């Protein structure tokens, strides 16, 4: 099945820097979700987006549901060491959930 | 905080053994899922269930089987484990309806020697 195109694949940043990652698809989705996965653990939901154009924040995280419904981005402001992990986007449509391949974030103190 | 539990967390077994990975959720969700994930890689759906006595195969072909006799329980079984089955297995559940947020367990990391 079709997966989402998530970029970048990995990022190495300095503590305090802002981070941006995005997810695109050739198909329309009704819901966009962003998850974070720590090593050896399951993904944990960060933000859920339900409407085109919606901009939602969760602390230092901000995510947007693209106006075309084919993309979404996640921003992390003022990164800290505990932001390290893999971030996955997911799009949902008609009982079908698709995941991106993940963005691996490394934060250097 | 999601109430979905997987056991064991880690399992190392020899080739040819039969194993069952347990997954239980206390949220009353109708939908449950099994994903296979190599370390740091994307998630691949191998099985899903929309309710009791309902099971379907996912996008990635798998030699494992699942059962859904009770709403809260969705075990995954490998009749004869092989080294190619070495991976992390993640269980998830979601409500019925449009929102369909999937909540994940902590995973079982399986190593077959």
| pLDDT for residue B94 | 92
Taking CA A104 as the corner, what is the angle to CA A101 and CA A100, rounded to the nearest 5 degrees? Answer: 15
Nearest chain A Cα to B41, which residue?
A101
Checking if the pLDDT of B12 tops 50, the result is yes
| pLDDT for residue B40 | 79
pLDDT digits 0-9 by tens, B70-105: 999 999 999 999 999 999 999 999 987 766 789 999
Q: Which residues contact B52 (CB under 8 A, 6 or more apart)?
A: B68, B69, B70, B71
| pLDDT for residue A75 | 98
How far apart are the C-alpha atoms of A91 and A97, rounded to whole Å?
6
B59, B101, B107 ranked by CB distance to A45: nearest: B101
CA A101 to chain centre: 10
| pLDDT for residue B2 | 62
A1, A45, A95 ranked by CB distance to B103: nearest: A45
Which site among A1, A4, A43, A91 would you substitute to test the B interface, given the most B Cβ atoms closer than 10 Å to its Cβ? A43
How far apart are the C-alpha atoms of B89 and B38, rounded to whole Å?
9
pLDDT digits 0-9 by tens, A60-109: 999 999 999 999 999 999 999 999 999 999 999 887 889 999 999 999 98
| pLDDT for residue A1 | 46
B5 shares contact with chain A (CB less than 8 Å): no
Cβ atoms of B48 and B58 closer than 8 Å: yes
A104 shares contact with chain B (CB less than 8 Å): yes
Cβ atoms of B63 and B57 closer than 8 Å: no
pLDDT digits 0-9 by tens, B19-75: 999 999 999 999 999 999 998 788 999 999 999 999 999 988 889 999 999 999 999
A95 contacts on B by Cβ (under 8 Å): 100
How far apart are the C-alpha atoms of A105 and A83, rounded to whole Å?
7
| pLDDT for residue B100 | 74
| pLDDT for residue B99 | 67
Instruction: Report the gap between the CA of B37 and the closest CA in chain A (Å).
Output: 10
A100 contacts on B by Cβ (under 8 Å): 42
Lookup: tokens for A17: 């820097």
A106 shares contact with chain B (CB less than 8 Å): no
pLDDT digits 0-9 by tens, A19-47: 999 999 999 999 999 999 998 899 999 99
């Amino acid at each position: 099945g079709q997966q989402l195109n998530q970029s970048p694949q990995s990022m190495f940043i300095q503590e305090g820097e802002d981070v941006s990652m995005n997810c695109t698809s050739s198909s329309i989705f009704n819901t966009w979700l962003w998850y974070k996965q720590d090593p050896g653990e399951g993904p944990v939901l960060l933000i859920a987006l339900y409407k085109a154009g919606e901009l939602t924040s969760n602390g230092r995280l901000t995510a947007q549901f693209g106006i075309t419904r084919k993309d979404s981005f996640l921003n992390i402001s003022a990164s800290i060491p505990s932001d390290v992990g893999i971030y996955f986007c997911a799009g949902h449509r008609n009982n079908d959930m698709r995941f991106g391949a993940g963005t691996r974030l490394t934060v250097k103190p | 905080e999601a109430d979905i539990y997987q056991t064991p967390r880690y399992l190392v077994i020899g080739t040819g053994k039969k194993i069952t990975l347990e997954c239980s959720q206390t949220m009353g969700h109708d939908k449950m899922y099994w994903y296979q994930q190599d370390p740091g890689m994307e998630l691949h759906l191998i099985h899903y269930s929309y309710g009791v006595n309902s099971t379907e195969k996912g996008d990635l072909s798998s030699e494992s089987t699942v059962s859904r006799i009770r709403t809260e329980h969705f075990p995954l079984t490998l009749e004869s484990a092989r080294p190619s089955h070495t991976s992390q297995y993640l269980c998830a559940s979601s409500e019925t309806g449009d929102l369909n947020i999937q909540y994940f367990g902590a995973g079982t990391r399986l190593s077959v020697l």
